[in-house]
Copies of this chain bind each other. A is one copy, B any other.
Amino acid sequence: MSLVRVHNFSVSLDGFGTGEGQQLDAPFGHAGPRLMKWAFETRTFSQMGIRGESEGSLGVDEAFASQWAPGIGVEIMGRNKFGPQRGPWEDEEWKGWWGDNPVFHTPVVVLTHHPRPVLEMEGGTTFHFVDADPVSALKHARALAGDLDVRIGGGVSTIRQFLEADLIDHMHIVLVPIVLGRGERLWDGLEGLEQRFEIEVTPSPFGVLHLIFTRRTDG
C-alpha cells in the first residue's frame, strides 16, 4: 500500500500552523511569510519559483524540503490552500493561488463542500474538487495516484483531520521558534499523538527544527 505523507509543514512554538486573517494577499494571515522563511532559502523552493532570489541552499533544510515531490502521485489539500474564497464559488475564472502552471504537476484533490468541474492546468496539475471525509478523500486520491504515495498538503485543519483519523504514515513538521499568539493550532485534539509515532528531531543552522514523525509499527 502506498504511504500517506506530510512534508514541509511549519508550526510556531505555540503550535499555530497559520496566523489569523487569511486573505488573497496574505495566505498565512498575520503570520506573513515567517513560518516558511526557512523553506524559501532552499534549492527546492527556489526552483519552484516561489522565491527566486537565490540558487538556494543545499544544507539540511534542503535535504528535508526536497523530499516533498519524489514518489508522490497526488496531493490532498484543504480549500483554503487553494484560495481564500469561502462558500459557493463566485468566480470560477480565478484558478487559485498557484498560477497557470502550479508547482504540483500531479492531480490535486481539493476538499470543499462546493464541488466544481475538474480544473486542468499547465504542467500536469489537475484540481479535483471533492466533498468527502478523510477516508473517502484518501480513497479518491489513491485512485488518482496509482502506486505512488499521497501527500497531505495542508492547511492546518486538513492535516489535523487526517491525524485524527490515523491515516498519516510519515509527517515532516518544521518547528519555527516564534510565538504567533493567534491563528489555527495544529495539535488541538491530538492528545497522546506521540504514542502512535516515533519522533526524530534535527535542528538546522537556520534556527528551525525538523521533526520527523514515523508511524510506529509495534503498536
User: Which A residues contact B (CB, under 8 angstroms)?
Assistant: 13-15, 175, 177-182, 185, 187-194, 199, 201-203, 207, 209, 211
Contact = CB atoms under 8 A, between A and B. Distances in A.
If over half of A's interface residues share one DSSP class (helix, strand or loop), that class is named, otherwise mixed; here it is: loop
A13 B211 CA distance: 11
Contacts of A201: 177, 203, 207, 209
Leading 9 A-B pairs by shortest Cβ distance: A181-B191, A14-B187, A179-B193, A178-B194, A177-B199, A201-B203, A179-B190, A179-B187, A14-B15
Contact of A15 (B15, B192, B211): B15
Number of this chain's copies in the complex:
2
B191 A182 contact: yes
Contacts of A192: 178-179, 181
7 contacts: A14-B188, A15-B15, A177-B199, A178-B194, A181-B192, A203-B203, A209-B209
Nearest to A178: B194
Given A15-B15, A180-B191, A203-B209, 18 more contacts: A13-B194, A14-B15, A14-B185, A14-B188, A14-B190, A177-B194, A177-B201, A179-B190, A179-B191, A179-B193, A179-B194, A181-B187, A181-B192, A182-B191, A201-B207, A202-B203, A203-B203, A209-B209
Nearest to A193: B179
